[in-house]
Amino acid sequence: MKLPNNAHVAIVDGENFIVMQNTGQIFEPKLKQVAKPDLDATNFSAGVKHQDDGGQKTGATDLTELAHGTAAAEWLNSKALSGDISDLLVIADPKTLGEMRRHYHSELEKRLVGEIAKTMTGEPTDRIEKAIIAA
């Protein structure tokens, strides 16, 4: 995957959210952490409506995790609207990514250079860089 120089990379799951920036070349990303936002996960209503069928039947869907994904999307929306983010790659586990997509603002969508549906929180930076190259 091509990742422009200075592009931001949001790495999200149901509990964690970090933002990195590419200081490397387009095909050779070098990431550095630039933010670890403290989110206020308060939007639980969307998660109730969008649970998968299995999660609704068994109660296995954690609404707090979905609310965290929503809060991450809202934080990214605000950064896109303010012009702080021009290019963005989102890496999130599939469930969180699905919830985030429901909350993307059109300005954020314009700035997306890609998405990777994979759990990468807690991984070392070099493994994240390799996942981007392989995508």
Of 64 and 54, the structure prediction assigns the larger pLDDT to 64
Within 13 Å of residue 87, how many CA atoms lie on the same side as its CB? 12
Q: What does the pLDDT look like over 1-23, one tens digit per residue?
A: 999 999 999 999 989 999 999 99
Report d(CA 122, CA 8) in Å as an integer.
Answer: 17
User: Which of 41-45, 67-71, 112-116 holds the top average pLDDT?
Assistant: 112-116
Q: Edge to edge, what strands does the sheet with 8-12 contain? A: 31-35, 17-22, 8-12, 88-92, 112-117
Choose between 64 and 11: higher pLDDT: 11
Angle (CA) 93 67 69, round 5°: 30
Q: What is the pLDDT of residue 45?
A: 55
pLDDT per position as a tens digit, 74-111: 999 999 999 999 999 999 999 999 999 999 999 999 99
Percentage of residues of the chain with pLDDT beyond 70 = 84
pLDDT of residue 65: 80
Question: Could you tell me the pTM of the whole model?
Answer: 0.84
Say how far apart CA 70 and CA 64 lie, in whole Å: 10
Task: Classify residue 1 as exposed, middle or buried by CB count within 10 Å of its CB (0-12, 13-18, 19+).
Answer: middle
24: its two tokens: 């490397």
Extended beta strands in the chain, E state:
8-12, 17-22, 31-35, 88-92, 112-117
Which residue, chain included where needed, has tokens 């670890």?
36
Would you say residue 56 has pLDDT above 90? no
